[in-house]
């Protein structure tokens, strides 16, 4: 766990009011003044039931060889497309985003894709199209950056610092990672819905991968690569001398944050590494076992398109079976995260704090009594948190991150937390419940409210439960 996380903790004593520089607010979409995006056909959304895919960890590595262009358009729309407009006119997207600032950008490398020349592309959600960054067969460079044999499609998710740092200052690297995890969750599930096999790479060769997409490491950090579809033969190396297309600044005066850039550079790899294994201990004998069972329907794509943040929670418990499905969809059997569940009264387990053992699908009680009010107070006083039937706090043990993945452990944990958050949102949506992420909290108070093990750091809270109808 880097010093970065502690140094960006919110503390009650030192919090000052937000001084927002509205005239300098960043434009929410990347703009390339010298190129028009290539239009894509109307998105063709995959038809697949939500629950078998959401509960079917791990996602398949093999499947269909590829998708038609309308399917690719649908994939991009589900991963990062626009799905609504707020009452204030802000375009909202399929994944949730801290402050609706959307620092996570989506790129694509294609080889042999129906309807597109081979090349590197940037997805423009405002236009529903793809900006061509560079034409040519990218497969050799992709393989050198991500390792493994290249595939016909490779998606890249990045965090564009300033979009979030404008509001959240140095704490924004946290939101870049969490938001990146939200996009990743949607992308992975959408790929599965289209029947594509996939391979995730978080441990890429940093400088070559950043260079491939033309990302300035002081401004934007690559977070994840996902290869999908059929394996392809690596082509010849891309010719040198490429210039990244000019971009318009996001604000009249784009700020830079050195601490964020340093945090993003920490643990950079020179060559792609293997995915780390995250062994974990089992639950005690008396832990409460849950059985997340798939349900028929709803449709995965419709669930993604319909998802929204809802905060109008009712003081009502979950129905039997809902707790198991929410947790089963949110978290894989193993990974870098710890997960503590805070339950109110009248659920399948008594009110209290529980550690979720995802491998054994079991809840271990660590404290009796309703802790949600304390979590709400710790969430900078967002009191609706205390009304939600379930609070899921995702946390990490710095010693374990360091032991398993050295300095890259933090990226793994934060991306996994964002992914779990998006999946909890989707599972709540599929059950007709509400959900909302909470990135704003006093860190030490939150750790105490959820009784996380000594030394562990809270990463992200997500609240879910019955809500009043309407948003
Ligand atoms: C990492 C993260 C942190 C968030 N933190 C908060 C929060 O502290 N309070 C809150 O009311 N909403 C929070 N949200 C929800 C966002 O405000 C919401 O996703 C955004 O406004 C877009 O709306 P939508 O989720 O309906 O698409 C958070 C979302 C994410 C992904």
Q: Is the CB of 92 under 6 A from ligand 1?
A: yes
**Using CB atoms within 10 A of its CB, is residue 385 exposed (0-12), middle (13-18) or buried (19+)?**
buried
The pLDDT value recorded for residue 10 is: 96
Same domain, yes or no, for 127 and 187?
yes
Same domain, yes or no, for 261 and 325?
no
The pLDDT value recorded for residue 470 is: 54
Nearest to 54 by CA among 223, 298, 280, 230: 298
| 280 is a domain residue | no
Tell how far CA 431 is from the center of its chain: 21
* CA–CA gap between residue 462 and residue 439 (Å, rounded): 8
Same domain, yes or no, for 326 and 249?
no
Q: Does 471 have pLDDT greater than 60?
A: no
Same domain, yes or no, for 258 and 123?
yes
Q: Which atom of ligand 1 is nearest to the CA of 422?
A: 31
Neighbours of 422 (CB within 10 A): 29
Specify the pairing of strand 220-231 against strand 198-201: antiparallel
The pLDDT value recorded for residue 156 is: 98
| 275 is a domain residue | no
Q: Is the CB of 288 under 6 A from ligand 1?
A: no
| 77 is a domain residue | yes
Same domain, yes or no, for 234 and 149?
yes
Provide the edge-to-edge strand list for the sheet that holds 198-201: 38-39, 129-135, 119-124, 104-110, 151-160, 220-231, 198-201
The pLDDT value recorded for residue 34 is: 92
Same domain, yes or no, for 434 and 358?
yes
What's the pTM?
A: 0.98
Q: What percent of the chain has pLDDT over 90?
A: 95
Q: Which of 265, 280, 301 is the last residue of a domain?
A: 265
Preceding peptide of 449 cis, ω within 30°:
no
> Could you read off the pLDDT of 239-264 as tens digits, one per residue?
888 899 999 999 999 999 999 999 99
> Could you read off the pLDDT of 376-427 as tens digits, one per residue?
999 999 999 999 999 999 999 999 999 999 999 999 999 999 999 999 999 9
Same domain, yes or no, for 253 and 297?
no
Same domain, yes or no, for 218 and 366?
no
Same domain, yes or no, for 113 and 79?
yes
DSSP single-letter state for residue 387: G
Q: Which of 265, 296, 311 is the last residue of a domain?
A: 265
Same domain, yes or no, for 259 and 297?
no
| 281 is a domain residue | no
> Could you read off the pLDDT of 149-172 as tens digits, one per residue?
999 999 999 999 999 999 999 999
The enclosing domain of 447 has a CATH number of 3.40.109.10
Same domain, yes or no, for 215 and 67?
yes
Contact present, 169 and 257 (Cβ < 8 Å): yes
Higher pLDDT, 28 or 1: 28
Look-up of token digits 């880097």: 2
Contact present, 406 and 429 (Cβ < 8 Å): no
Our count of domains for the chain comes to 2
Taking CA atoms only, the protein residue closest to ligand 1 atom 21 is: 100
Identify the domain containing residue 23 by its residue range: 3-265
The pLDDT value recorded for residue 58 is: 95
Q: Which of 201, 230, 265 is the last residue of a domain?
A: 265
| 271 is a domain residue | no
The mean pLDDT value for 126-134 works out to 96
| 270 is a domain residue | no
Q: In angstroms, what is the span from residue 225 Cα to ligand 1's centroid? A: 24
Q: Report how far apart, in Å, the C-alpha atoms of 292 and of each of 359, 458, 461 are.
A: 12, 25, 21
The pLDDT value recorded for residue 291 is: 96
Confidence of residue 303 (pLDDT cuts 50, 70, 90): very high
Contact present, 161 and 399 (Cβ < 8 Å): no
Q: In angstroms, what is the span from residue 96 Cα to ligand 1's centroid? A: 6
Confidence of residue 281 (pLDDT cuts 50, 70, 90): confident
Look-up of token digits 């080889």: 111
> Could you read off the pLDDT of 68-98 as tens digits, one per residue?
999 999 999 999 999 999 999 999 999 999 9
Q: In angstroms, what is the span from residue 299 Cα to ligand 1's centroid? A: 24
Contact present, 262 and 407 (Cβ < 8 Å): no
Q: In angstroms, what is the span from residue 168 Cα to ligand 1's centroid? A: 13
Q: Is the CB of 437 under 6 A from ligand 1?
A: yes
Same domain, yes or no, for 220 and 152?
yes
| 278 is a domain residue | no
Look-up of token digits 């802790």: 371
Preceding peptide of 298 cis, ω within 30°:
yes
| 471 is a domain residue | no
């Amino acid at each position: 766990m880097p010093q970065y996380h502690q140094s960006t903790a919110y503390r009650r004593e030192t919090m000052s009011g937000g001084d927002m520089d509205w005239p300098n607010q960043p434009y929410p979409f990347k703009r390339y003044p010298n190129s028009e995006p290539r239009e894509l056909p109307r998105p063709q959304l995959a038809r697949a039931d939500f629950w078998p895919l959401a509960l079917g960890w791990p996602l398949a590595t093999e499947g269909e060889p590829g998708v038609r262009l309308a399917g690719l358009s649908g994939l991009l729309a589900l991963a990062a497309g626009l799905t609504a407009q707020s009452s204030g006119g802000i375009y909202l997207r399929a994944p949730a985003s801290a402050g609706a600032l959307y620092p996570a950008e989506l790129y694509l490398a294609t080889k042999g894709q129906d309807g597109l020349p081979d090349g590197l592309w940037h997805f423009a959600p405002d236009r529903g199209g793809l900006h061509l960054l560079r034409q040519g067969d990218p497969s050799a460079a992709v393989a050198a950056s991500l390792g493994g044999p290249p595939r016909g499609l490779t998606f890249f998710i990045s965090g564009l610092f300033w979009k979030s740092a404008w509001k959240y200052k140095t704490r924004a690297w946290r939101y870049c990672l969490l938001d990146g995890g939200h996009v990743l969750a949607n992308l992975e599930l959408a790929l599965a819905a289209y029947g594509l096999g996939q391979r995730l790479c978080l441990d890429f060769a940093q400088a070559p991968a950043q260079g491939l997409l033309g990302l300035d490491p002081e401004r934007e950090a690559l977070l994840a690569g996902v290869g999908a579809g059929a394996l392809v033969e690596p082509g010849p190396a891309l010719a040198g001398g490429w210039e990244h297309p000019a971009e318009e600044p996001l604000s009249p005066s784009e700020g830079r944050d050195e601490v964020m850039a340093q945090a993003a550079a920490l643990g950079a790899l020179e060559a792609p590494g293997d995915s780390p294994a995250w062994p974990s201990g089992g639950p005690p004998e008396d832990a409460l076992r849950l059985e997340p069972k798939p349900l028929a329907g709803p449709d995965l794509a419709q669930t993604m398109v319909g998802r929204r943040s809802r905060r109008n929670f009712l003081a009502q418990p979950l129905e039997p079976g809902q707790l198991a499905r929410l947790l089963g969809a949110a978290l894989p059997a193993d990974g870098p995260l710890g997960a503590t569940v805070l339950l109110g009264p009248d659920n399948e387990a008594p009110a209290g704090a529980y550690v979720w053992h995802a491998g054994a699908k079991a809840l271990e009680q660590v404290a009796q009594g309703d802790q949600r009010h304390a979590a709400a107070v710790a969430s900078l006083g967002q009191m609706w948190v205390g009304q939600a039937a379930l609070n899921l706090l995702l946390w990490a043990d710095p010693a374990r991150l360091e032991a398993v993945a050295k300095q890259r452990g933090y990226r793994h944990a934060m991306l996994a937390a964002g992914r779990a958050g998006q999946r909890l949102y989707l599972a709540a949506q599929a059950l007709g419940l509400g959900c909302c992420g909470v990135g704003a909290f006093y860190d030490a108070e939150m750790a105490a409210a959820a009784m996380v093990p000594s030394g562990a750091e809270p990463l992200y809270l997500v609240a879910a439960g019955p809500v009043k109808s309407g948003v």
